[in-house]
Amino acid sequence: MNFLAAAIAILAVIPSAIGEAWLISRAIDGIARNPEAYSKLRSSMILGAALVETTAIYALLVSILCIFMGM
């Protein structure tokens, strides 16, 4: 049962990866359309990617806790 809980917890990585890819794709599109806004878009993209990536890290942490701590 612990492994099932871990598998369900790690499913949160899928939307996180999709969101991060979409974020970076949109930032690249914005930079291609307006090269002068490169620094502003880059800093916003890095901040957004960091926030999206924390979801995947939390899901991994919950998954590891489910396996080793036993719910």
pLDDT of residue 28: 92
58, 62, 64, 69: CA torsion to nearest 10: 150
As a whole number of angstroms, the distance between CA 41 and CA 30 comes to 7
What confidence tier does 71 reach under pLDDT thresholds 50, 70, 90?
low
- The distance in angstroms from the start CA to the end CA of the chain is 8
What is the pTM assigned to this prediction?
A: 0.72
What is the arithmetic mean of pLDDT over 38-53? 90
70 HSE (CA, 13 A, CB side)? 0
